[in-house]
A = this chain, B = another copy of it.
């Protein structure tokens, strides 16, 4: 879908995506055309097309006569996120279990390998990006363009949020990362066995783990969560 263009342009496209996902470019920060032209060695026309493309995918927000900014994350964003995530993640993983091809399963295993390596290496951005990649592949497996539109947007913000709690200084949370990693393994197994129920279940468990981390980060004092309950699931 992203229609990866000729090299010069695709470098800009990929690097901007990376920089936004890793919070190297912070939510809401402006993206000046001239700066990006210099950085990537493009003229304004193709660079603007990259920004349009990123805008369509939700990485960037365009404002008339005011240029582009990194899409921001407010507490409203987070509220929407908490509502949509369990719904979409479980649906995606269910479909992934139904439709995954052997080639995609291999790809997913490779991504998991990379994630595991990133966990031991301790590099924050590697952890976030390899985790992101893992979940994007499940999206490809599901192969549903409608749901993928939501998944892609969820992953943008999920990865940005994750950048905060993938930090190694979190201390006691290392075991949680290990649990997340094991859940990935179980997901692969469920997908490989075509066990859609288990896959959907794992998606929800995985989300619950992630959600707890996010809540701890957003509400460190242990406040109650008034941000909105996720809709009831019909998962058996």
Contacts and interface: CB of A to CB of B under 8 A. Distances in A.
Interface of A: 3-6, 45, 48-49, 52-53, 55-58, 62-64, 77, 80-81, 83-85, 87-88, 91, 94-95, 143-147, 149-150, 152-154, 231-232, 234
A52 to B, nearest CB: 4
Given A80-B143, A150-B150, A64 B3 contact: yes
Q: Which 4 A-B residue pairings sit nearest by Cβ, starting from the closest?
A: A56-B56, A84-B146, A52-B52, A149-B149
Interface centre among A49, A77, A145, A152 (most CB of B within 10 A): A145
A91 B81 CA distance: 13
Contact of A3 (B62, B91, B94, B146): B62
Contacts of A152: 149
A63 B149 CA distance: 19
A45 B45 CA distance: 8
A77 B149 contact: no
Contact of A56 (B52, B147, B154): B52
Contacts of A153: 145-146, 149
B52 A144 contact: no
Nearest to A196: B231
Contacts of A87: 87, 91, 147
B53 A144 contact: no
